[in-house]
Amino acid sequence: VVFEPDDVVVPGQPGELLLDLAGAAGIPLLSECGGQGTCGSCRVLVQRGRVSFADQAGREEEITAPREVLACQTAAAGDLVVRIPPEARLRPLHQRITGYLGPEARVYLQEPHQGMPLARRLALELAPPSFDDPTPDWERLAMGLRHACGAERNLTANLDVLREMPRLLRELDFKVSVTVLDEGWQDRLIALGKPDGDPLLGLALDIGTTNIKAELVDLGSGRVLGGASEFNAQARYGEDVISRIIWAQEHEWGADELQDALVTSVNTVIGELLKQTQAAQEQIVAVSCAGNATMISFRLRLPADAIRRAPHVAPVGLPPTVQAGMLGLDTHPAAGVYCLPAINGYVGGDISGGILATGMFAAEDLRALVDVGTNGEIVVGNRDWRMCCACSAGPAFEGMGIECGLPARPGAIESLRYESEHDCVDVRTIGEELPVGVCGNGLAETLATLLDAQVIDRAGNLVAEFPSPRMRQADGEMQFVLLWSDQNATGRDLVLRQSEIDNLIRAKAAVFAALVTLLEELGLSTGDIGHFYLAGAFGSHLDVRTAIKIGLLPDLPAERVTVAGNTALAGAYLTLLSSEARDEIQKLARATTYMDLSTSSRFMEEYIAAQMLPHTNLERFPSLAPDNAGPEWGNSLNR
């Protein structure tokens, strides 16, 4: 079921009420009568799809034109698109995160499993000192804090807070608020102020090799206030982590330059978030950061050399919480920066975040998580065991190295259809703005639609004889015009070149080959996967059949696939808000085993075989055989 305008997709079973499905999608609805069907507060708009009505003895109906229904009395009976109006929402529209949160993960946003956010504020009313009670200020404050927390936790404080403390306590008549950072084994007092201050904010941050994405979160309510993304400025030092490590080694100030580039990009994202939300820099007191081990090492200015040499060891698996001011971040200088734990030098906190967010760490059946970024990272397993691997996919699906490519942001084409009979291209962009380029979803759909229209062949070669003015030779290679200059905001033709198609095919081939190799090592096959999560460069609008058609996904029934978006960011969000989630992610990172593919001849064979659309061996994609194509071919909910 697709929920609009949030663009969240949740898998559902026939008979599941829309009220429950919306809750599962992280969009709780008003239900003033408790789902009795009498208050009308849960009214939503079914745009299209098959529903059944609980209040009409389960009568089913195919809805073809938008229709208002009660979410508490209407259930899914097939694929559905549902629009949720603002008045039916329990919380405003912006309260959502980019990545999927499975039901096993959502418990960490609720009591009794939430525990503490990374930073919290407590109001204290202390008895002033007297001749009878001359307890020093710090001990007085610590005692009051322990009493307020109701727990015997170690407590420490930053020196600058201690320096301000005597004056502030007296100015505020010993009625103060304290901002405390959870450092795992102790609390750290990082700020002292008036009892009622502005809301405390946290940053959920995903530092990717190519893109940096962040969401600003109200630490009190968990509300997501805004989101932003930016290319990682380190890209000018190398496309992948290995070339950047080498660059850092070969230049005297290389590591410093790489760290500076990263901090600049992160601060650009923070600046954008502060502009969006009108919040103050000082309000950001906690940062939860997902990223691969190299990015985290560069971020902390740690030597990353050992990562590129076998056995690929990261300098730190779970770095201690450090102060943002020491890293040059534009937040409160004492904000705590927590990094999600790495599994291995090549499988970082972005993946442990994904294991946490999808809930695969608690599943009984076999789950697979494939995160397509500049590196492809794959985890298979369940609650008892997990095995992971990594491969170099290249940043093509993240928009890097593709002239018209860009991250998912307003103006990015996320859906593209080419119709050869009339030689026309139909696109849908994020935010319905004039197109400026194509993001991961759009690139996957472009490959699929060009294959359907026989603009490219199964090897991905542009067919020079294709009868369209869009097909042309330029700069020594074939290219196909996706949008003419007067159809987009860049003022020039948006084209896809042969070399760019080759990069996209190599990227999808690498992740597919890594998945199959990992499964085969375990004596399993793609058919054993109970549920599959596709994460990374793709958003929830990606049509599963499209992804299967180009061999990005194995041939699984659509109901066993969740296009999970940025699960690294979802993991960062969970760990920002929940100490129990932080405890869980440490355990699951330790209990996930890494398999090295770099010496696997099997991987190379699979990689070469996967460099066709969808694959050299079509028996691996039985549902794509013409007899089985059925009405689902090219039938996306999103078009």
Interface ranges with ligand FES (CB under 6 A): 31-33, 35-42, 70, 72
- Cβ closest to ligand FES, residue 17 vs residue 537: 17
- Cβ closest to ligand FES, residue 36 vs residue 525: 36
Give the nearest distance from C-beta 70 to ligand FES in angstroms.
5
Distances (CA, A) of 252 to 74, 90, 189, 248, 588: 65, 55, 37, 8, 38
Give the nearest distance from C-beta 15 to ligand FES in angstroms.
17
Give the nearest distance from C-beta 52 to ligand FES in angstroms.
16
The HSE-up count of residue 501 (CA atoms within 13 Å, CB side) is 29
- Cβ closest to ligand FES, residue 51 vs residue 296: 51
- Cβ closest to ligand FES, residue 73 vs residue 636: 73
Burial label for 482, CB within 10 Å (0-12, 13-18, 19+), is buried
- The closest of 391, 394, 433, 395 to 412, measured between CA atoms, is 433
Burial label for 151, CB within 10 Å (0-12, 13-18, 19+), is exposed
- Cβ closest to ligand FES, residue 42 vs residue 514: 42
- Cβ closest to ligand FES, residue 35 vs residue 336: 35
- Cβ closest to ligand FES, residue 73 vs residue 158: 73
Give the nearest distance from C-beta 340 to ligand FES in angstroms.
38
- Cβ closest to ligand FES, residue 31 vs residue 566: 31
| Chain-centroid distance, C-alpha 338 | 17
**Cβ-Cβ contacts under 8 Å for 57 (sequence gap 6 or more):** none
Reported as type and span, the H/E element at residue 606 is helix 601-609
Give the nearest distance from C-beta 19 to ligand FES in angstroms.
7
Give the nearest distance from C-beta 1 to ligand FES in angstroms.
17
Give the nearest distance from C-beta 74 to ligand FES in angstroms.
9
- Cβ closest to ligand FES, residue 73 vs residue 98: 73
**Contact, 483 vs 425, CB < 8 A?**
yes
**Contact, 352 vs 571, CB < 8 A?**
yes
Nearest 10 degrees: CA dihedral of 275, 280, 281, 282? -170
Give the nearest distance from C-beta 25 to ligand FES in angstroms.
17
Give the nearest distance from C-beta 604 to ligand FES in angstroms.
56
Which residue type does 202 have?
A: G
Calculate ∠ Cα 245-248-250, nearest 5°: 110
- Cβ closest to ligand FES, residue 36 vs residue 598: 36
Number of H helices, E strands in the chain: 15, 28
Q: How far apart are CA 504 and CA 614, in angstroms?
A: 12
Pairing, β 477-483 against β 494-497: antiparallel
- Cβ closest to ligand FES, residue 70 vs residue 285: 70
- Cβ closest to ligand FES, residue 72 vs residue 577: 72
φ, ψ for residue 214, nearest 5 deg: -150, 155
Give the nearest distance from C-beta 60 to ligand FES in angstroms.
19
Give the nearest distance from C-beta 69 to ligand FES in angstroms.
10
Helices (H), 421-566: 440-452, 498-521, 544-549
Which residue type does 509 have?
A: A
DSSP-assigned letter for residue 86: G
- Cβ closest to ligand FES, residue 37 vs residue 220: 37
Pairing, β 8-9 against β 386-392: unpaired
Reported as type and span, the H/E element at residue 534 is strand 531-536
Give the nearest distance from C-beta 605 to ligand FES in angstroms.
55
Give the nearest distance from C-beta 16 to ligand FES in angstroms.
15
Pairing, β 386-392 against β 412-419: unpaired
**Cβ-Cβ contacts under 8 Å for 218 (sequence gap 6 or more):** 199, 200, 201, 225
Q: Residue 82: helix, strand or coil by DSSP?
A: strand
**Cβ-Cβ contacts under 8 Å for 345 (sequence gap 6 or more):** 293, 294, 306, 307, 308, 311, 312, 313, 314
| Tokens representing residue 533 in the block | 């999560």
- Cβ closest to ligand FES, residue 39 vs residue 162: 39
To 10 degrees, what angle do helices 241-250 and 254-277 make? 130
**Contact, 12 vs 21, CB < 8 A?**
yes
- Cβ closest to ligand FES, residue 30 vs residue 316: 30
